[in-house]
Amino acid sequence: MRVLIIGAGVGGLCLAQGLRAADLDVAVHERAAAPTEQLASYGIHLDADGCRALHECLPSATWARLDATAAPARDTLRFHDQHLRPLATRDREPAGPPDPVTRRRAVSRDALREVLLDGLTGAGDATGGGGVVRWAKAYTGYERIAGGRLRAYFADGSHTDGDLLIGADGSNSRVRRQYLPELPRLDLGVANIAGRCPLTPEIADQLPAALVDGSVNNVVPPGPGWMFVSTWGAPEGGRAPTWSGRTSPPGTATPRTSNTWPGRACVNWCWTASAAGLPHCAPWSPPAAPPRSRR
Ligand SMILES: Cc1cc2nc3c(=O)[nH]c(=O)nc-3n(C[C@H](O)[C@H](O)[C@H](O)COP(=O)(O)OP(=O)(O)OC[C@H]3O[C@@H](n4cnc5c(N)ncnc54)[C@H](O)[C@@H]3O)c2cc1C
């Protein structure tokens, strides 16, 4: 059986690893021209389910590589009001030693993708040949062909045949649009703005402890709008987070440029609101307090 996966994101690559481990013939088609074609690398937290799935699907050497690349992350979820007064805390930090598989981890997206690509790229296939992952293959649609098989088409005019087509092409999936047209993507009028800044000692000193201890924080005011804040730290000896990256156009030899933080930790934040909710953040502010080192 030949399985065609569209999208070399977290889901598509993890699935490809699992199918390969089960000795199935699998090909992943990704629209990006190269693995490095990514604007920025936001950190990602792996919870117990995510770790379990990766442990199940990855070859043991690849799992060991992920384990070494990821940093331990605190399993505490906090909710605050818009003045940073605590509303609720869910603390799932284990009392004893953490489970070696399911313990919560933080990893940069760059590093996670590199690990997930382990063994899936062939020599000299930067633009699509050889390996399980075919780059620069922007999927456009499929049709059913003889023998119950499927044919997938790509923007470069090529096509490929398989027995099963998996849409792992993200939230705006073209596979889903064709296969399940009755399930359109709904615009809820909600916008997400995400960013990060280096966690310098000066910034850490001015932030409340809960925002810099690695826990996941949600600032939830009454009414619309919501903010997520968490710090992210690279493991000792691991890679510092990348804040921007750029690839050259396909076919050019210029190497990727990227920049990393001066320190090894950063604060990630993500603000979610409806357009109408934007003005509501004006009165948000924590209660006035001296910097923590002077308390
Ligand atoms: C700011 C932010 C922070 C997040 N933090 C976390 C976190 O800490 N933990 C967590 O578990 N989740 C987190 N998430 C959610 C997580 O990123 C997604 O759930 C996950 O990436 C979904 O994986 P996926 O493989 O389905 O899709 P994606 O990762 O979006 O991958 C889709 C892939 O398909 C490719 N593609 C799209 N269209 C085509 C096409 N036509 N042809 C070929 N290829 C195509 C894309 O280029 C991409 O490589 C976060 C999301 C955001 C935005």
- Best of 10, 110, 185 for a ligand 1 pocket test (most atoms within 8 Å of beta carbon): 10
Same structural domain for residues 95 and 121?
A: no
Residue 285 falls inside a structural domain: no
Alpha-carbon distance of 276 to 5, in angstroms, equals 39
Residue 175 lies in a domain: yes
pLDDT by 10s per residue, the chain, length 295: 999 999 999 999 999 999 999 999 999 999 999 887 765 566 788 999 999 999 999 999 999 999 998 888 888 999 999 888 999 999 988 888 889 999 999 888 888 998 999 999 875 444 444 589 999 999 999 999 999 999 999 999 999 999 999 999 999 999 999 999 999 888 877 888 888 787 888 888 888 888 888 888 999 888 777 888 888 776 655 555 544 444 444 444 444 444 444 455 777 777 777 766 555 666 666 665 555 554 4
Residues 126 and 29 in one domain: yes
Pocket test for ligand 1, best of 46, 142, 169, 175 (most atoms within 8 A of CB): 169
Displacement of CA 223 from its chain's centroid (Å): 28
Q: Are residues 273 and 281 in contact, defined by beta-carbon separation less than 8 angstroms?
A: yes
Same domain membership, residue 273 and residue 231 = yes
The answer to whether residues 126 and 156 belong to one domain is yes
- The finding on whether 50 has its CB within 6 A of some atom of ligand 1 is yes
Query: What distance in angstroms lies between residue 163's CA and the mean position of ligand 1's atoms?
Result: 25
User: Same structural domain for residues 192 and 265?
Assistant: yes
Same-domain check for residues 192 and 251: yes
Examine the domain organization and report whether 200 and 132 are in the same domain. Answer: no
Using alpha carbons only, give the angle 107, 108, 112 rounded to the nearest 5 degrees: 75
Query: Which secondary-structure segment (H or E) carries 217?
Result: strand 216-219
Q: Do 165 and 126 belong together in one domain?
A: yes
Position 111 in a domain: no
Has residue 140 been placed in a domain? yes
Cα-Cα-Cα-Cα dihedral sign, residues 109, 68, 119, 36: positive
Does 192 fall in a domain? yes
For residue 86, which of 231, 227, 210 has the smallest C-alpha distance? Answer: 210
* Contact between 294 and 225 (Cβ < 8 Å): no
Closest CA to 199 of 152, 241, 245, 148: 241
Look up the pTM and report it.
0.84
Which range of residues forms the domain containing residue 209? Answer: 75-100+188-277
Per-residue pLDDT tens for 186-218? 887 788 888 878 788 888 888 888 888 888 899
Give me the long-range contacts of 142-150 (CB less than 8 A, separation at least 24).
142/175, 142/178, 150/4
**Gap from CA of 192 to ligand 1 centroid (Å):** 15
Give yes or no: residues 127 and 173 share one domain. Answer: yes
**Category of 148 on φ-ψ map: left (φ > 0), alpha (ψ -120 to 50) or beta:** left
Identify the H or E element spanning 109: helix 109-116
Residues 124 and 270 in one domain: no
Q: At what angle do helices 109-116 and 60-69 cross, to 10 degrees?
A: 170
As a whole number of Å, the CA-based R_g of the chain is 22
30 lines ligand 1 (CB under 6 A): yes
The confidence score (pLDDT) of residue 259 equals: 46
For residue 125, is it within any domain?
A: yes
Q: CA 260 to CA 224: how far, in whole Å?
A: 34
Q: Check if 15 has its Cβ closer than 6 Å to any atom of ligand 1.
A: no
Kindly give the distance from the C-alpha atom of residue 291 to the centroid of ligand 1, in angstroms, as a whole number. 37
**Contact yes or no for 132/16 (Cβ under 8 A):** yes
Pairing of the two strands 76-80 and 25-29 = unpaired
Same domain? 153 vs 192: no
Whether 117 is in the pocket of ligand 1, judged by its Cβ within 6 Å, is no
Cβ(45) – ligand 1 distance below 6 Å? yes
User: Which CATH number goes with the domain that contains 93?
Assistant: 3.30.9
Dihedral class, residue 221 (left if φ above 0, else alpha if ψ from -120 to 50, else beta): beta
Cβ atoms within 10 Å, residue 174? 18
CA-CA distance, 131 to 18, in Å (whole number)?
A: 16
**What was the pLDDT predicted at 40?**
55
SS3 label, residue 74: coil
Please tell me if the CB atom of residue 12 comes closer than 6 angstroms to any atom of ligand 1. yes
For residue 147, the domain's CATH number is: 3.50.50.60
Number of domains into which the chain is organized:
2
Q: Is residue 52 a part of any domain in this protein?
A: no
Is residue 89 one of the residues assigned to a domain?
Answer: yes
